[in-house]
Amino acid sequence: MAKKELRSENFVVYRTSRKTMLPSSAFLVKKSALTAPIVLQKLKAIYTPPRTFLTWRTPLDLLIVTILSAQCTDARVNIVSKALYRKYKTPQDYLQVSRIELEQDIHSCGTYRNKAKFIQELCAILLEKHGGKVPQTMEELIALPGVGRKTASIILYAAFGKNEGIAVDTHVLRLARRLGLTRAKVQHKIELDLMRATPKEDWGLLNTLLISHGRAVCTARNRQCGKCVFQKECPSSLVLGKRDLAKN
């Protein structure tokens, strides 16, 4: 049965029917005391993350390794990229090798056939439409094969210092829900909630701060709430006996 959401100053009220609601047919979910600005302020005092955790030299490098990072750890991609950077420096370099050779070079990053296809196709487009350069707008980036809003947001922020979106990876998704910054479960809706709640100049930084905290404290398994700066206000805090909102 569909749920209808109503909002009050301190609570979110869910109706379980379109009919007039009796008190017993509703449940109240108290709003989180945490807001995106509070989260930013506290995490800024703890972490000084780089603009991206991927190793890169040029915008093209960053574009390639961000594609490779899909369903793969940054640590693995940073290992693979060491050899890639010795061999590939321009879009032409990626097009001069066979698809099979490129697949072998990126094999350990997973889904290597699709990634090799995307890389060669986008390199051809960069040469044909962008003079061999990585474009600097969201619209142009997401038109490239294998590039979605998450990848484009990372590239725009890290390579060009532009805040055009918030990259929602597994860490950002988990922490945004745990901290009560969103109730959405899908990537694009979580991004919209975070963008609405966060000053635009901090969109890129929010991503790297949440990743830093997600790796250090708010881990996917066995979250360390006793060490967390939000332990007394987080709606998922084990210290407060709360359930994990990221698992709802």
Residues 176 and 219 grouped into a single domain: yes
- What confidence tier does 168 reach under pLDDT thresholds 50, 70, 90? very high
Task: CATH number of the domain at 72, please.
Answer: 1.10.340.30
Quick one: pLDDT band at residue 248, thresholds 50, 70, 90? Answer: confident
Average pLDDT, the chain: 90
Q: Are residues 141 and 103 in the same domain?
A: yes
Which domain range does residue 85 map to?
59-160
105 catalytic residue (yes or no): no
Give the CATH number, domain containing residue 192.
1.10.1670.10
| 11 shares its domain with 43 | no
Active site residue 150: yes
153 with 215, same domain: the answer is: no
The H or E element containing residue 210 is helix 203-216
Interacting residues of 15 by C-beta distance below 8 A, sequence separation 6+? 3, 4, 5, 6, 21, 25, 26
pLDDT at position 1? 47
Note the pLDDT of residue 16: 38
Instruction: Examine the domain organization and report whether 179 and 193 are in the same domain.
Output: yes
Element (H, E) at 11: strand 11-15
pLDDT mean over 58-64: 98
pLDDT tens for 187-220 read: 999 999 999 999 999 999 999 999 999 999 999 9
The catalytic position among 61, 115, 150, 193 is: 150
Same domain, yes or no: 19 and 88:
no
Mean pLDDT score, 149-158 = 98
**169, 202, 242, 244: which one is catalytic?**
169
**Residues 220, 141 share a domain:** no
**What is the tens place of the pLDDT at every residue in 68-127?**
999 999 999 999 999 999 999 999 999 999 999 999 999 999 999 999 999 999 999 999
Report the C-alpha gap between 170 and 54 in whole angstroms.
16
User: What is the domain count for the chain?
Assistant: 3
